[in-house]
């Protein structure tokens, strides 16, 4: 998958060092992945929550943080739409958020 907004991941883990390992792992797996559906993602990340056919929520750093990613399956692109604390996630609409 091609990941859009990798620089946002780096900026986030620089502000929140406890997330770096988790976000680096996600990036490495996602970049090498051949995902075609949300079910494919679940094979690599068992704690994901499928929000709809396009958006998936990932737990980061043991669930202290959340990341919403929108996928364009045909073009094999992953767009990072939100990355923040669990409390910040609770205040957004994960189906429409686009912070980056």
Distances from the Cα of 29 to the Cα of 24, 94, 95, angstroms: 9, 22, 23
C-alpha closest to that of 4 among 67, 84, 77:
77
What is the rounded average pLDDT for all residues in the chain? 94
CATH node for 2-90: 3.30.2310
Sign of CA dihedral 37, 43, 25, 52: positive
Distances from the Cα of 56 to the Cα of 14, 17, 31, 75, 90, angstroms: 24, 23, 16, 17, 15
Q: What is the pLDDT of residue 16?
A: 97
Domain coordinates of the chain in residue numbers? 2-90
Per-residue pLDDT tens digits for 28-62:
999 999 999 999 999 999 899 999 999 999 999 99
């Amino acid at each position: 998958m091609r990941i859009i907004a990798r620089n946002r991941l780096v900026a986030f883990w620089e502000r929140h060092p406890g997330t770096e390992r988790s976000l680096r792992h996600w990036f490495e797996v996602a970049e090498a992945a051949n995902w075609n559906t949300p079910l494919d993602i679940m094979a690599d990340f068992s704690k994901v929550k499928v929000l709809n056919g396009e958006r998936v929520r990932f737990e980061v750093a043991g669930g202290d943080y959340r990341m919403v990613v929108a996928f364009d399956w045909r073009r094999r692109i992953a767009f990072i739409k939100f990355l923040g604390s669990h409390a910040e996630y609770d205040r957004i609409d994960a189906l429409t958020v686009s912070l980056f």
